[in-house]
Amino acid sequence: MALIIGRGGENDPLALKLETLQRNWIENEVTPERSPDEMRAAIALAMAGRPNVVLRSASSRYDCMGLPFASRRTSIAIDQWDLIRVDDRYRQIQEGEALAGDVVIYRRDGFVNHVGVVNDRHFGDNGLPIITVLSQWGYDGEYWHPVDQVPDLYGNAVEYWTDRKPHP
């Protein structure tokens, strides 16, 4: 049987060696790429009705967690966020404090469903922050998008986290 016990773990041949700053293993698995036909269908779906969404990369090798925490090399199960958040000393910040490189968390029904990286933040005429995010949607492509323009499956952007160290 080709069932892998300990999927994403240290003995999984599809996993890359990936650890937190505290040297805890981050479960991960390099995802098979999707065929060009499948990727075209996925991109068409993602961009339909979303004029402000721009495709950055059409890879399936990584997921939304793999983008910020594995430099786009592999997929990381979303339940690893708590481990990474604690071990890598992320701290929660307000939306208005977010800067490029910080992490935005989307939740639905309380569950973390999606992770993105803040790409740009500026303030609109009304004084409210306007945030652009870079994130991988499922396994089917990485997009620049306004923070509130994601598939509704992911829920809403409710938390911002940073690993920035303050100026000494």
Partner 1 sequence: MTTHEALQEVETLQFSARLNLASNLRLFYLAASRETAVGVLAASLQHDPDEMRSVLLTRILDLSRVTVDPRYRHPSDAALAVYLWLLGQFSPLGVVAAEVIAQTPQCWWASRVAAPILEQAPTTNQASGEIADTVLAAVQNSNTASFEIVDAVGQGAPDAASLEQPGESSESLALAGLVRARSKVTRLTVLPMAA
Binding window for partner 1 (CB under 8 A); candidates: 35-43, 96-104, 116-124, 159-167? 35-43
C-alpha 93/C-alpha 163 separation (Å) is: 10
Show Cβ contacts of residue 27 under 8 Å, excluding neighbours closer than 6 positions: 7, 8, 9, 15, 76, 77, 80
Tell whether residue 47 is a contact of partner 1 (CB under 8 A). no
What's the closest the beta carbon of residue 156 comes to partner 1, in angstroms?
14
According to DSSP, the β-strands at 28-29 and 54-57 are unpaired
Closest CA to 8 of 81, 122, 129, 18: 18
What's the closest the beta carbon of residue 59 comes to partner 1, in angstroms?
12
Q: Provide the CA 75 distance to its chain's centre, in angstroms.
A: 10
According to DSSP, the β-strands at 129-136 and 75-76 are unpaired
Site string for partner 1, 138-157 (x = CB under 8 A): xxx----------x-xx---
| Window 92 to 131, contacts with partner 1 (CB under 8 A) | 111, 113-114
Tell whether residue 27 is a contact of partner 1 (CB under 8 A). no
What are the residues binding partner 1 (CB under 8 A)?
1-3, 7, 31-35, 37-38, 40-42, 44-46, 60, 63-65, 77-79, 111, 113-114, 137-140, 151, 153-154
